[in-house]
Amino acid sequence: MLEAGVRAATEGDMPAVRAVARRFGLLGGWRPGAPDFLDAERTFGTLLVAPGRLGHALGFGGTLRRGELTHLGDLFVLPAHQSSGLGRALLARLLAGNGPRVTFASSDHRALGLYVRHGLRPWCPLLYLTGPATGLPAPPVRVTSPDEVAALDADVAGGDRRRTLAWYAALPGVAAYTTGEGYAFVRTIDDQAVIGPAGGTTPQDSTNAVLGALAATATPGPAPSSTTPSSTATPGTAPGSATPGTVKIAVPGTHPLVPVLIAAGWRIGDLDTLMADDAALGLIRPDRYVPHPDLG
């Protein structure tokens, strides 16, 4: 049984929330002890916990805001408590209100049904691709700052989130690149990198920004700084915090980057469904936008 019902997570709840997150394999791309997406949800959105006994958590859910848009990032309940109404209770709190709403839904039919009942509709597949940073076209990019790309990010992602972007850019291993008409954030941890968010004025601009960021990341050297946007990053001269062996990216199925990466030998490791309500459908540009897997 729940002891205190669904409520906002406090700092003291975070070990229990992270224990549930680890149970579902959600923290693999984040360094232990360093800030992660759960901190972002608690700071820039909403993070709810369903507390159990002795300081444990039975489940949690989290959202992030992009302007008026709510991105549902997490809804996880321990297996022993699934189909108990706990997920419905978390979701009702997280999606309260009338603003635009979007989520990345797994294949769990119970979750899909919940989202549909809250007005979200399946829109397009979201492909989780993995592959090498090398062997692709390499448009020139330069290091940029979150402030410089915030307006373009808001245009493709459906709302402004410059505070979240600044938080992310300040994490170790994160760099932001721009072509002038597109942008891409990259986070490198050891021998792996994650692309996103990324976007562009046109679908091709978005593709070029991601490809340029991949090329810059593949070049060994000192870590770039997003506080020095005049730094140039071109193939053969670009700085990068490491040379990643594997890069991960979440790409909407309608994005022109998908066939480029598949043709280069990248593989689909997983698949979600991008779901949104009618209001969000008019704001997000899936052919120009590459979300961050955890931050949207």
**Which DSSP string corresponds to 31-58?**
-TTS--HHHHHHHHEEEEEEE-STT-EE
pLDDT on residue 223: 47
Q: Determine contact, residues 191/276, Cβ cutoff 8 Å.
A: no
The set of long-range contacts for 72-77, using a CB threshold of 8 Å and a minimum separation of 24, is 72/101, 72/102, 72/103, 72/115, 73/37, 73/41, 73/45, 73/103, 73/104, 73/294, 73/295, 73/296, 74/21, 74/26, 74/38, 74/41, 75/111, 75/114, 76/20, 76/21, 76/23, 76/24, 76/26, 77/50
Strands 182-189 and 174-178: antiparallel
Identify the pLDDT of residue 220: 58
Please calculate the CA angle 108-110-111 and round it to the nearest 5 degrees.
70
pLDDT on residue 240:
42
Which residues, given as ranges, of the chain have pLDDT below 50? 1-4, 223, 225, 227-230, 234-242
Q: Please say whether the beta carbons of 115 and 90 come within 8 A.
A: no
Q: What is the pLDDT of residue 84?
A: 84
Mean pLDDT rounded to a whole number for the chain: 90
DSSP H helices in 143-202: 146-157, 162-169
What is the structure's pLDDT at 237? 34
CA proximity to 204, closest of 264, 148, 150, 259: 259
